[in-house]
Each structure stands twice: as structure tokens, then as C-alpha cells.
Amino acid sequence: MPYFVMAAILILCCFSVPQADASSSARESLRGLSGVAVDIENISKDAEVNGLTQRAIRTSVEDILRSSGVRVLTPQEKRTTPSEPALYVGVWSLKEGPEYSLCVEVNLTQIVSLVSRPDFQIFVPTWRSMSVGRVGSHKLKDTIAVMIEPKIRAFANDFLAANRRPSSTSP
């Protein structure tokens, strides 16, 4: 049964969701945002025992965003920002003997309106990157550097490209 569940997760991660490829529409959806809140999905207990923790992921994600120049919104700031933008990081793991099968998802979710019904608003991911992999229990903490951090850097690059400030020229 666990293999069926992991297979279903891997199929959903790999095939049913578009990958972030710095497409113009994904990047354009970031334009005008003042920053993003950070939401980290709960990590399984066995993964935490092997060194992959919410706290470590949050620290890494927020450090990369801040050092790149992306403002990290507090929960209060998120609630008072019209689109309530949140960078979501999820890591699903299935321990199989000495190894883990992993699915890592990073997406920017925000409130959008439908063209056909501007009064209808819904949270949707507008930027997304996902991957799957396997790693030994002793290397599980490396998932942050190998699978999560590159996605956060790609997001930060797209965010900054979409929100470039015009350079001021002196007379």
C-alpha cells in the first residue's frame, strides 16, 4: 500500500502540474508584489528524526529570499496585502528501508480574480516548481540544499526580474 501512495504522489507531482520554467506568464504573475509570506508544509516525523525539519527549511528559504532582495512578509502583512501572496514549500516523503522517496514543491499562491467574474476571487498557484527524487536517510538534510534552495533562488530571480526598479539616471 505505501508504494501505491508514493506512486500516486509521484505521478501527480510529475505529470499533472505544469513546472515553473520561468515562463513569461509565471514571471508576470509576480509583478507588483511587495514581498511574499513563507508557508512550510508539515514534515513527517520520521523525516524530522533524520534531520529534515520545518525550521531548517524556513530558515534557508527566508535567508535566500532576504539576501536576494525579496521582502519576507509577516503573517499580518500578508493578510493586509491585497493578493495575500505566500511562497509555499512542501516536502512529501516516504521512507523505504534506508532511503526516502521525495516530492518537493515550491509555489507562489495568491488571490486572483476570474476574467468572466471579477467579483469571484480564489487562491491559486501562479508560479510553481516541483521535483522528485530518492535519498538515503543519512543525507536527508541535504534535500534542503539540493532540491529546495535551487527552486527558491529561481523564484527570487523571477520575482526580481518581474519587479525590476527602473535605474535612475543623473543629469
Task: Please tell me the predicted confidence (pLDDT) of residue 168.
Answer: 56
Task: Please tell me the predicted confidence (pLDDT) of residue 24.
Answer: 86
Task: Please tell me the predicted confidence (pLDDT) of residue 146.
Answer: 94
Residues of the chain with pLDDT under 50: 10-21
Pick the closest to residue 165 from 83, 69, 37, 64 (CA basis): 69
Task: Please tell me the predicted confidence (pLDDT) of residue 166.
Answer: 64
Question: Residue 36 in contact with residue 85, Cβ under 8 Å?
Answer: yes
Task: Please tell me the predicted confidence (pLDDT) of residue 1.
Answer: 53
Task: Give tens-digit pLDDT for 13-43.
Answer: 444 344 444 578 899 999 999 999 999 999 9
The residue whose grid cell reads 526598479 is 165
Task: Please tell me the predicted confidence (pLDDT) of residue 23.
Answer: 76
Spell out the domain ranges in the chain: 2-7+18-157
C-alpha grid cell, residue 147: 532540491
